[in-house]
Structure 1
Amino acid sequence: MSENKGDKIERVLGIYTKLMNGYLVNKAEEANNYGVNERSIQRDIEDIRDFMEGSSENSDIINSVIYDRIDKGYRMEQRCKMKLSNSEVLALCKILLESRAFTKKEMKEVVDRIIYCCVQKKDQKLITDLISNEAFHYVEPRHRTQFTDIMWDIGQAIKNCNYIEIHYLRMKDKKVVKRKVKPLAIMFSEYYFYLTAFIDNEEIRKGFDVINDSFPTIYRIDRIKEFKALDEKFHIPYSSRFEEGEFRKRIQFMYGGKLQRVKFKYFGRDIDAILDKLPTAQILSEENGVYTVSAEVFGKGIDMWLRSQGTLVEVIC
């Protein structure tokens, strides 16, 4: 006796709806509910699988029907085509915790969301356990400031080329100063997020170490006490645009200043660590394991780094 086509459609749609709503589908239970044998339910599930495979070709989401051996039933598993692997999520969480970029509350929320959104439910506890000790002993930055909303607003101003007005806590005298600037980029380095921006006011620029500096001023975002995006627009020609990637290659500890070239001898064993730290570095010579290195850098941050190397480095010029 042939099966009524309408009954099959209704049954398949019913099973499909259950799967999409997160329910477990048991073949024996569904066979009993619809008055058919388990082979019919199995064919229905295969039809649903075929439909999902075809519909995922033009979508960023892949829906798969899998058999759960523990719960003894079929369930829906949804994932992104560009989903991170478990090892990538673990590495990302480790990097985030090491960055110490956020308050403890913010860091926990960010890490938890990454694990929840990117890792299958059965593996979430494993990832959480692998980072639990670091998360428990996480030390938040001393400023304890939540600034992600301001950072997003700054990003919008950069995209739209709007001037911004900030009240900024200056470190050298703990004074809050008002600045109107052209925001250029948001950067991260050594625990902090920074805004790079141009100041138009020549009176203010007179107090700078490099008066005619054609490169941006650097502000730590957590020290921005007030922020306002202005309606006034600015324009920087494409040929003169700020390239944060090139800027980052030449700056240490986010200390601005004039462009210069340094030359030093390196007596350590791991020259790769030096070349990774200073992307513009070039090996000029090597003799008996001693390297002579030259690098193009901005500002005074390089002096701090060179001193931190102790006897491993000898500055030539």
Structure 2
Amino acid sequence: MSTSKLDRESPDKISRILSLYTKLRDGRCIHAAEEAACHNVTIRSIQRDIKDIQEFLQYRQDEELEPLAYTVVYDRRQKGYVLKNIEAVTFSNSEILAICKILLDSRAFTKPEMTAMLDKLVTNCVAAENQDIIRELIKNEAFHYIEPHHKTVFIDKLWTIGQAIKNHQCIEITYKRSKDKKFVTRKLQPAAIMFSEYYFYLTAFIDDKDLQQHFDVINDSFPTIYRVDRIASLTVLPETFRVLYADRFQEGEFRKRVQFMYGGRLKRIRFIYTGPDVEAILDRLPTAIIEKKDGKAYTISAEVFGDGINMWLRSQGKNIQLLNE
């Protein structure tokens, strides 16, 4: 709302708008019904006041009268209006460039999918005058992008699985196993979607007691891992399952301890590292702890799931001496 418009408003409305604006600047949430009752006006009047405040903030931004750009938005979680820093809720050019580079390096999608995603990111999140610069910086890498060999379009499955996880619904999948290329059917309780080393994975608990008897770990409290691109068919079932808060699966903690997305028993490994960059080891193994440093030799321990860690240990050659498991 411009200052000239403010001059024409009644004293009551001006006082009401200033009250709302002060609350917003103080970080409070404005609930239209409560404010309407407080000021003895209609909810529509409060909504018009909010619109006037939005116009005023836009005017301040256009005239460059504010060091930071703000707007009023409706927060669905709080069910009210809050003041937001526009710069905090939009991506900077540097952030979009970083996201594009990470996407390209992931090699997670087919080339048409990747091209479309990059174009949407740049078109919708970068100011028009900077779009050509971003496109130029990613052009060569995008042109030489190598899509995964499976060439499978699966992105819609991620959303379907995500909804099943949120609603605690069982799913049934037809899955192509890697060891013998045979298709198997599984009824699952989906727990999480994860990404690692070019692929998206579904972590889920098998909802079949007879099948579980053939597992290496009977009554395993940790999920089985499935590559999403190998899921040939996916059906969300009406059947639901209960998840107690105390027993909920925490993918963040699981991800720290799993290497190359191989499941298995939880175990602790210890080794001596004599390579050039111990930080790379700590980044690769988030649960790693340096127990002792002796010159250039580091004694390190870490908690991991399964045997996937063995692949990585072998790849380090003479830089790692395994002490025990």
Same topology, TM > 0.5: yes
Q: Deviations over 1:261-295 (max 9, x none)?
A: 00001011211111111010011111121001000
- In structure 2, what is the Cα distance between the partners aligned to 1:173 and 1:47? 63
Query: Partner amino acid for 1:138?
Result: Y
Q: Does 1:191 align with 2:198?
A: yes
Which secondary structure does the structure 2 equivalent of 1:229 belong to? strand
For 1:214-253, list aligned pairs within 5 A: 214-253=221-260
Query: Partner amino acid for 2:71?
Result: E
TM-score by length of 1: 0.76
For 1:206-285, list aligned pairs within 5 A: 206-285=213-292
How far is the alpha carbon of 1:304 from its aligned partner?
0.6
The count of aligned residue pairs is 255
- In structure 2, what is the Cα distance between the partners aligned to 1:51 and 1:98? 37
Q: Give the match for residue 97 of structure 1.
A: 104
Which of 54, 57, 65 in structure 1 is aligned with 2:71?
A: 57
Which secondary structure does the structure 1 equivalent of 2:97 belong to? helix
Q: Deviations over 1:75-130 (max 9, x none)?
A: xxxx7751111111111100000000100000011111111111111110111111
Which of 153, 164, 184 in structure 1 is aligned with 2:160?
A: 153
Query: Which has the greater radius of gyration?
Result: 1
Q: Give the match for residue 296 of structure 1.
A: 303
How far is the alpha carbon of 1:173 from its aligned partner?
1.0
How far is the alpha carbon of 1:204 from its aligned partner?
1.6
For 1:197-208, list aligned pairs within 5 A: 197-208=204-215
Which secondary structure does the structure 1 equivalent of 2:101 belong to? helix
Which secondary structure does the structure 2 equivalent of 1:316 belong to? strand
Mark the CA change 1:50 to 1:223 in structure 2 (over 3 Å): closer, same or farther: same
Query: Partner amino acid for 1:125?
Result: D
Mark the CA change 1:308 to 1:48 in structure 2 (over 3 Å): closer, same or farther: closer
- In structure 1, what is the Cα distance between the partners aligned to 2:274 and 2:138? 36
Mark the CA change 1:91 to 1:258 in structure 2 (over 3 Å): closer, same or farther: same
- In structure 1, what is the Cα distance between the partners aligned to 2:167 and 2:141? 39
Q: Give the match for residue 130 of structure 1.
A: 137
Which secondary structure does the structure 2 equivalent of 1:253 belong to? coil
How far is the alpha carbon of 1:212 from its aligned partner?
3.1
How far is the alpha carbon of 1:208 from its aligned partner?
2.2
Unmatched runs of 5 consecutive residues or more in structure 2: 5-55, 75-85
Instruction: Kindly indicate whether the alpha-carbon contact (under 8 Å) linking 2:57 and 2:71 is maintained by their aligned counterparts in 1.
Output: no
Q: Deviations over 1:159-189 (max 9, x none)?
A: 0000000000011111100000100000000
- In structure 2, what is the Cα distance between the partners aligned to 1:131 and 1:86? 13
- In structure 1, what is the Cα distance between the partners aligned to 2:160 and 2:87? 29
TM-score by length of 2: 0.75
Query: Partner amino acid for 1:302?
Result: I
Query: Partner amino acid for 2:277?
Result: D
Mark the CA change 1:51 to 1:307 in structure 2 (over 3 Å): closer, same or farther: closer
Query: Partner amino acid for 2:250?
Result: E
Instruction: Kindly indicate whether the alpha-carbon contact (under 8 Å) linking 2:57 and 2:70 is maintained by their aligned counterparts in 1.
Output: no
Q: Show structure 1 runs of 4+ deviating over 6 A.
A: 51-55
Unmatched runs of 5 consecutive residues or more in structure 1: 6-45, 61-78
- In structure 2, what is the Cα distance between the partners aligned to 1:279 and 1:316? 19
Which secondary structure does the structure 1 equivalent of 2:71 belong to? helix
Q: Give the match for residue 174 of structure 1.
A: 181
